[in-house]
């Protein structure tokens, strides 16, 4: 089953490209000229988002390295013990929405500390796999089009992240404890 | 956020580290954007072919109805709709890098009919929340890490992850639809 799904996800993109090209051939569309047109747009977009990316990523890095996250971790400790949540997984809950590469770093850290078959590892893996880097997605997407007032977008994203983490804790207890 | 971080850094004595991390982050941000240029150019090129050949129109008609329910003000905007559809399906297959260009393009299409260019529309917020929930069918990267670390059966996390990500995805849509009623500025 996993193999089928993995193969499917490898195959799907080339299949889409081939299909688009064949369709263009059938409808006698100028494929090369169209491609160049679109590629120029792609270049512009990637360059335009640089300043926004720098601003957000610097903020997040400062928050992480300064130890601000550690202070939050200390405050929440008693609550964690009550819900049988391994303390090691708290960092991943806090970094998940902030930084994708940091989350992968924390995940390997948890594997090293608690062993690959531990409950902490499984919970951390489910949290990592089931969510996205909310702040990063927001900065890329809204940054690209120059939106400055995010309105309720971030709040909705963060609330969904919280629901996701609570769900992960609940589901993992059923599956792995 | 920067201020809180610096206050914390003073207490923990991490000022040098914090500043280093900030500089490193700015470097990484640019590196990422540069690495995105190629993928972005390639995908938008392919998509342009699909657009010019009329394929995009056909595809967007197919999924317009279920998505139209979530984005009522985009009924007349078929470009945005098809890019949203492509973004959602690319994400579902775990192709984050391919999904991003579609997502950004969808945002640009929505921006075209936005009256206040600095403020997000309801549809933009819903679309962003859907993306931050990160719905995917197989968490390929996480499974790769677990397998590389020697877990016996890394596939065991697929089902719980799928359940959790579905719950998060649905609640992202729910919260964005709920919050838009309050019309936060």
The domain locations on chain B are 17-182
Question: What gap in Å lies between CA A121 and CA A76, rounded to an integer?
Answer: 20
Residue B39: pLDDT above 90?
A: no
Q: Does A18 touch chain B (CB under 8 A)?
A: no
| pLDDT(A9) > 60 | no
Q: Any CB–CB contact under 8 A between A75 and chain B?
A: no
Within an 8 Å CB–CB cutoff, is residue A3 touching chain B? no
Which ranges of chain A does DSSP label H, i.e. alpha helix? 2-26, 31-48, 50-65, 68-82, 88-95, 100-114, 119-130, 134-144, 153-176
A61 confidence band (pLDDT: 50, 70, 90): confident
List the domain range (segments joined by +) for residue A109: 49-176
Whether A90 and A166 share a structural domain: yes
Supply the pLDDT for residue B126: 92
Domain shared by A122 and A101, yes or no: yes
The larger pLDDT score, comparing residue A3 to residue A111, is at A111
Minimum Cα–Cα distance from B86: chain A residue: A16
Regarding whether A117 and A88 lie in a shared domain, the answer is yes
More confident residue, B176 or A80: B176
Does B70 contact A at CB distance below 8 Å?
A: no
**Is the pLDDT score of B167 beyond 90?**
yes
Is the pLDDT at B93 greater than 90, yes or no? no
A163 touches B at CB < 8 Å: yes
Query: Closest Cα partner for A101 from B2, B154, B43, B29?
Result: B29
Domain count, chain A: 2
B12–A67 CB contact, under 8 Å = yes
A68 vs B8, B107, B141: nearest CB: B8
List B119's β-bridge partners, or say none.
A149
Q: State which residue of chain B sits closest to A153, comparing Cα positions.
A: B125
Looking at the fold, whether A121 and A143 belong to one and the same domain comes out as: yes
Q: What angle do CA B147, A100, B130 make, to 5 degrees?
A: 105
* Min Cα separation B21/chain A (Å): 6
Length of chain B: 185
- Provide long-range contacts, Cβ within 8 A and 24+ apart, for A78-82: none
- Indicate the residue of A53, A148, A164 with minimum beta-carbon distance to B167: A164
Q: What percent of chain A has pLDDT over 90?
A: 18
Do A90 and A9 share a domain, yes or no? no
Most confident of A44-53, A122-131, A145-154, B38-47: A122-131
Q: Which residue has the tokens 């169209």?
A: A34
CB contact under 8 A, A41 and B44: yes
pLDDT over 70 at B56, yes or no: no
Residue of A nearest to B140 (CA): A6
Domain boundary among A33, A48, A63: A48
* Residue of B45 and B63 predicted with greater confidence: B45
Looking at the fold, whether A58 and A33 belong to one and the same domain comes out as: no
Mean pLDDT score of chain A: 83
**If you measure CA to CA, which chain A residue comes closest to B114?**
A147
Q: Does ipTM top 0.90?
A: no
Supply the pLDDT for residue B171. Answer: 95
For residue A177, pLDDT over 60 is answered with: yes
* B110-133 pLDDT tens trace: 998 888 888 999 999 999 998 888
Tens of pLDDT, residue by residue over A87-107, are 888 888 888 888 776 787 788
Closest Cβ–Cβ partner in A57, A64, A131 for B134: A131
d(CA A151, CA A153): 6
Q: Is the pLDDT of residue A2 over 60?
A: no
Cross-chain residue pair B104–A145, CB shorter than 8 Å: yes
Q: What is the residue-averaged pLDDT of chain B?
A: 81
Q: Which residue has the higher pLDDT, A10 or A29?
A: A29
Which residues 26-55 of B are in CB contact (within 8 Å) with A? 26, 28-30, 32-34, 36-37, 39-55
Check whether A127 has a pLDDT greater than 90: yes
Give the model confidence (pLDDT) of A110-121 as tens digits: 888 888 999 999
Please tell me the distance from the alpha carbon of residue A28 to that of residue B127, in angstroms, as a whole number. 34
Query: Cα dist. A82→A76, A78, A79, A159, B44 in Å?
Result: 11, 7, 5, 22, 50
Nearest-angstrom CA–CA distance, B158 and A126 = 8
Question: Residues 140..169 of B with a Cβ closer than 8 Å to A: which?
Answer: 140-143, 145-146, 149-152, 155-165, 167-169
Q: Per-residue confidence at B47, pLDDT binned at 50, 70, 90? A: confident
A73: contact with B, CB 8 A cutoff: no
Q: What are the beta bridge partners of residue A149?
A: B119
Q: Does residue A13 carry a pLDDT above 80?
A: no
């Amino acid at each position: 089953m996993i193999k089928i799904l993995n193969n499917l996800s490898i195959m799907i993109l080339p299949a889409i490209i081939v299909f688009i090209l064949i369709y263009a051939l059938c409808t006698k569309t100028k494929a090369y000229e169209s491609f160049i047109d679109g590629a120029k747009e792609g270049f512009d977009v990637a360059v335009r988002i640089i300043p926004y990316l720098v601003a957000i990523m610097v903020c997040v890095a400062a928050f992480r390295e300064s130890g601000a996250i550690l202070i939050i971790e200390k405050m929440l400790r008693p609550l964690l013990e009550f819900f049988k949540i391994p303390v090691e997984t708290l960092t991943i809950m806090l970094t998940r929405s902030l930084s994708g590469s940091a989350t992968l770093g924390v995940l390997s850290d948890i594997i090293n500390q608690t062993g690959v078959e531990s409950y902490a590892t499984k919970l951390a893996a489910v949290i990592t796999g089931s969510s996205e880097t909310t702040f990063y997605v927001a900065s890329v997407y809204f940054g690209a089009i120059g939106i400055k007032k995010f309105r309720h977008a971030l709040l909705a994203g963060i609330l969904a992240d919280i629901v996701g983490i609570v769900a992960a804790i609940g589901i993992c207890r059923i599956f792995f404890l | 956020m920067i201020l809180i971080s610096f206050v914390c850094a003073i207490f923990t004595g991490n000022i040098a580290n914090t500043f280093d991390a900030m500089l490193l982050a700015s470097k990484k941000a640019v590196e990422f954007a540069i690495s995105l240029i190629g993928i972005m150019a390639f995908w938008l090129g392919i998509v342009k072919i699909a657009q010019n050949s009329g394929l995009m129109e056909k595809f967007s008609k197919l999924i317009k109805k279920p998505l139209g329910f979530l984005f009522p003000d985009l009924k007349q905007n078929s470009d945005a709709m098809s890019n949203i559809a492509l973004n959602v399906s690319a994400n579902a297959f775990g192709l984050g890098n391919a999904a991003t260009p579609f997502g950004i393009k969808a945002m640009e299409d929505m921006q075209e009919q936005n009256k206040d260019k600095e403020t997000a529309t309801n549809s933009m917020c819903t679309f962003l929340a859907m993306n931050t929930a990160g719905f995917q069918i197989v968490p390929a990267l996480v499974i790769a890490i677990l397998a590389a670390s020697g877990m016996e059966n890394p596939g065991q996390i697929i089902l719980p992850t799928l359940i959790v990500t579905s719950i998060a995805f649905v609640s992202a849509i729910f919260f964005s639809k709920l919050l838009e009623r309050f019309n936060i500025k």
